[in-house]
Amino acid sequence: MANGLLKGKKGIIFGALNEQSIAWKVAERAHEEGAEFVLTNAPIAMRMGEINKLAEDTNSQIIPADATSLEDLENLIDKSMEILGGKIDFILHSIGMSVNVRKGRHYTDQKYDWTMKGIDVSAMSFHKVMQTAYQKDAINDWGSILGLTYIAAQRVFPDYNDMADNKSYLESVARSFGYHYGKKANVRVNTISQSPTMTTAGSGVKGFNEFINYSEQMSPLGNASALDCANYCISMFSDLTKFVTMQNLFHDGGFSNTGVTQEVIEKFGD
Ligand SMILES: NC(=O)c1ccc[n+]([C@@H]2O[C@H](COP(=O)([O-])OP(=O)(O)OC[C@H]3O[C@@H](n4cnc5c(N)ncnc54)[C@H](O)[C@@H]3O)[C@@H](O)[C@H]2O)c1
């Protein structure tokens, strides 16, 4: 299914850790659609070396960057423009991590150093990426920037813990920066709110298996897969969506607008 939707476009893709990663699928699809891009991830995430295979398959180079480090981000933006031979058209921020979640710390018993780390990695990094690109004038007119989020930013999912707060912050940054980047260079900024998906970050959430099944039955179309999410990202990077900006876009099979489904209500019958 290649339509040349990203032919001639250059990008930076954050967050491909392994084949399950949403960013991995985006990279594969972007390559199929004719884009050229740089892959990046935290230096520590490179240890397994899986990203090398993706780089080979998609003909792309890897520049390590901790998305919380302005120094790393400046280097990433400069080198990407060198490698790609000019300004960038799209950026995918596909990054999330909560230390409280990882270490099983309850929402009512947070260790605030860990909370701050989670905010920095999961949300403030989105601002840092955009601010670095903005100040370096690194994005072409009508470029497109995406972050990935989850509906726990709007509704309570208790085990999502402080990631819910991080996602609210992330979505707010998309709106606020979207205004400024729109004014500067017609660059659009959006978040995609994805169904629960079996990835390394996703499966770190307590009770994830039960939860993914619940979500499947609460969505008229079922859960959206990582590949379908990637396809949506491609459409958002293409010129077919030029006037969509400052939005939180649900990609969830209808979950966000469903009160209850027949399958779920039947579980409460006598
Ligand atoms: N999996 C789900 O259920 C789900 C649902 C909705 C939204 N999302 C969001 O999708 C995005 C991608 O997650 P995923 O599910 O593909 O999992 P993933 O674990 O494959 O990806 C998370 C990525 O974040 C990277 N990362 C962590 N700290 C970093 C840092 N300091 N600097 C740079 N990169 C860093 C990791 O190395 C990893 O590649 C995240 O924002 C996540 O919250 C996931």
Residue 270 has pLDDT above 90, yes or no: no
* Chain mean pLDDT for the chain: 96
Q: Which two tokens stand for residue 95?
A: 């990054």
Q: Nearest CA to 134 among 85, 87, 71?
A: 87
Q: Round to whole Å and give the CA distance between 138 and 87.
A: 5
Give the pLDDT of residue 200. 84
- Nearest ligand 1 atom, CA 226: 16
Q: How far, in Å, is the centroid of ligand 1 from the Cα of 118?
A: 12
Q: Identify the residues whose C-beta falls under 6 Å from ligand 1.
A: 14-15, 17, 20-23, 41-42, 45, 66-68, 94-97, 121, 148-150, 194, 196-197, 199-202
For 148, the enclosing helix (H) or strand (E) is strand 139-149
- For 58-114, what is each residue's pLDDT tens digit? 999 999 999 999 999 999 999 999 999 999 999 999 999 999 999 999 999 999 999
Residue 155 has pLDDT above 80, yes or no: yes
User: If you write DSSP's letter for every residue of 155-219 in order, what string do you get?
Assistant: S--GGGTTHHHHHHHHHHHHHHHHHHHHHHH--EEEEEEEPP--STTGGGSTTHHHHHHHHHHHS
Q: What domains, with CATH codes, occur in the chain?
A: 10-266 (3.40.50.720)
Residue nearest to atom 12 of ligand 1 (CA): 94
- Residues of 144-170 as b/e, b for ≥16 C-beta within 10 angstroms? bbbbbbbbbbeeebebbbbbbbbbebb
Residue 205 has pLDDT above 80, yes or no: no
- For 227-250, what is each residue's pLDDT tens digit? 999 999 999 999 999 999 999 999
Select from 28, 38, 94, 151 the residue to mutate for testing ligand 1; criterion: most ligand atoms less than 8 Å from CB: 94
CB 174 within 8 A of CB 180: no
User: Does this model's pTM top 0.95?
Assistant: yes
Q: How far, in Å, is the centroid of ligand 1 from the Cα of 87?
A: 25
- At residue 186 the predicted structure's pLDDT band, cuts being 50, 70 and 90, is very high
Residue 120 has pLDDT above 90, yes or no: yes
CB 69 within 8 A of CB 97: no
Give the pLDDT of residue 89. 98
